[in-house]
Amino acid sequence: MTQTFIDPAQLSQVSDLELLARTVVEGFMTGIHRSPHTGASIEFAQYRPYTQGDDLRFLDWKLFARTDRLHLKQFQEETNLRCTLLLDCSASMQYGSGAMSKWAYARLLCASLAMILKSQGDSIGFMAYHHELATHIPATTDQRNFRRILVELAGLEPNQKTDTPRVLRFLGDVLRPRGMVILISDLIYPLEEVIDHLKSLRARRHDVLVIQISDPTEQTFTFDGAVTLVDAEEGEERFVVPDAVREAYLENRRNHFDTIRRECLTAEIDLAEFTADQPLDFALRHFINHRNRALKTSGLRQSGRA
């Protein structure tokens, strides 16, 4: 079976963000993910031995009567997923050498993810940031939240410098624990602090998915002849001969992202990398796979503790 993907170049010609998101999300909508957390609900999940301090409301008294052992009943939590979409709208996201800039790609991806989550009835939160928080919509199950997110997305323009650690610190303060955080960014900023704060987010038992967006030219550094490049965020100008600096540039870039990849792996943070010329389906599929994998590992972990 051949699968057809929607070309970002074609998508870039459509201005209606909701229409775009609906087009992209179609086919990913229903019954493909579940909440990874167990809690009070009607759907039984498993038993686990009672330990001191457990809520006595969940003790299975009938089982105690039959076996003289204390066990707790665990149920699959049916409350909606609490997911916060975190979008980098710093000036570096504006760059694009092809039909779609990184910003256009990220914005559309964000809208598509929001639509998927909305269709599941999950709580959707949204935050956009550059050097400070640009927009914050707390996660609720209110269906109008999706519309608010789209309105915010449509009004945002990438500018200013990035300060991801600062935003992540803020996020750690305001987010309720054990939710899902999806960070969409080009991850072009110094390593150490970002990784530290991603780790701290993870430590608060959030499931963190980082989607890194690149432009094809950033990956190859191909320019026609000598050019003067201006740093989108710093404003620094530099005259470069691409052939002369390409090797060093690519090596520095590779080192940077290798480090991020390694640290994310260590911290059990899922990192996915996409370029702005790839179909959005890839990113959505990765999101779905990530969720399925998280459900399984989460279930095993729960049962392991049981």
Partner 1 sequence: MLSFLAPFFLAGAALIGLPWLIHHIRKPEREPIIFSSLMFLPNVKKEVIERRKLQHILLMLLRMLLLVLMALAFSRPYFKERRSYVQESAAPGRHLILLDLSYSMGMSNRFEQAGRTVRDILGEIPADIPVGLVGFSDSPVLLAPMEGVPSQTRARVKSELEKAVPGQGGTRYQAALQYAENLLLEGRDAEETTPAVLHLISDFSRGGMPEGNPDWRLSGRILFRGYRIDGRPIRNLSLMEIGRKDREDRLEIAGKVKNWSETEESAVVRLLLGEELLEEKEVTVAPGGASQVRFDIPRPAGNAREGRLMLVGDDFELDNLRYFVWRAPRKKTILLLTDKDKRRWPADWFVERVLTAGNQVPWRVIRVDRNNLAASLARRPDVVAAVGLKTLEATHAAALSRYVEGGGRVLMSLGDGPSPNVLSRDLLAGLGLNDLGPAFPETNPANNQLLGWIDFDHPTFLVFRGARFNDFSGLRFYNYHRIQATAETDEDISFLARFDGREDPAMVEVRRGEGRWLIWAFNPVLDWTNLPKHPKFVPLLHETVKYLGRFRQEEREYLVGGRYDAREAEGSQRLRLPDGRVHEVAADASIPLERAGIVLAGAQDRADEWQALDAVNIPGGESDPETIQIDEFALRLTANGGVAQGAAHGEVERYSGDVEKRNEMGFIFVILLALFVATEIFYAARLSIRKPADAPNTPQPADRRSNDS
- Contact footprint for partner 1 (CB under 8 A): 92-95, 102, 131, 161, 163, 165-166, 186, 188-191, 193, 215, 218, 223, 226-234, 236-241, 244-245, 247-253, 255-256
Query: Count of CB atoms within 10 A of residue 259's CB?
Result: 13
C-beta of 256 vs 261, nearer to partner 1 = 256
Amino acid occupying residue 148: R
3-class state of residue 99 by DSSP: coil
- Shortest Å distance, C-beta 232 to partner 1: 5
d(CA 100, CA 103): 8
Residue with tokens 């323009």: 157
Cα atoms in the Cβ-side hemisphere of radius 13 Å centred on 277: 9
Residues in Cβ contact with 170 at an 8 Å cutoff, skipping those fewer than 6 apart? 133
Nearest by Cα to 182 from 110, 263, 273:
110
In DSSP terms, 88 is beta-bridged to 129
Residue with tokens 């609720």: 140
- Shortest Å distance, C-beta 258 to partner 1: 13
Residues in Cβ contact with 105 at an 8 Å cutoff, skipping those fewer than 6 apart? 8, 213, 274, 276, 280
- Shortest Å distance, C-beta 134 to partner 1: 16
- Shortest Å distance, C-beta 84 to partner 1: 21
C-beta of 54 vs 132, nearer to partner 1 = 132
C-beta of 56 vs 226, nearer to partner 1 = 226
C-beta of 148 vs 256, nearer to partner 1 = 256
- Shortest Å distance, C-beta 76 to partner 1: 40
Residue with tokens 């994310």: 264
Give all strands (DSSP E) within 120-206, no chain letters: 123-129, 133-140, 180-185
- Shortest Å distance, C-beta 222 to partner 1: 12
C-beta of 217 vs 303, nearer to partner 1 = 217
C-beta of 127 vs 194, nearer to partner 1 = 194
